[in-house]
């Protein structure tokens, strides 16, 4: 997909998709802990 079609306006842009639809999006740099927290809030368990 083309970034502009998904509304990407900054780098990095992280997107979570569920059933082919965007479920959540975060724009900008985040520390690892914030990414793990965001994934957990979205119902995704991180693996090691």
Q: How far apart are CA 20 and CA 11, in angstroms?
A: 22
Q: What predicted TM-score, i.e. pTM, was given to this entire model? A: 0.67
- In this predicted model, what pLDDT tens digit does every residue of 4-14 receive, in sequence order? 777 777 788 88
Query: Helix or strand or coil: residue 23?
Result: strand
Least confident among 8-12, 13-17, 24-28, 41-45: 8-12
Give, in degrees to the nearest 5, the angle at Cα 15 between 14 and 21.
170
Do the bridges between strand 21-27 and strand 13-18 make them parallel or antiparallel, or are there none, so unpaired?
antiparallel
Mean pLDDT of 15-37: 91
Q: What is the pLDDT of residue 5?
A: 79
Strand partners, 25: 15
Please indicate whether residue 25 or residue 3 has the higher confidence score (pLDDT). Answer: 25
């Amino acid at each position: 997909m083309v970034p502009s079609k998904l509304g990407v306006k900054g780098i990095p842009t992280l997107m979570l998709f569920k059933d082919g639809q965007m479920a959540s999006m975060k724009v900008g740099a985040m520390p690892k802990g914030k990414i793990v927290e965001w994934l957990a809030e979205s119902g995704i368990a991180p693996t090691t």
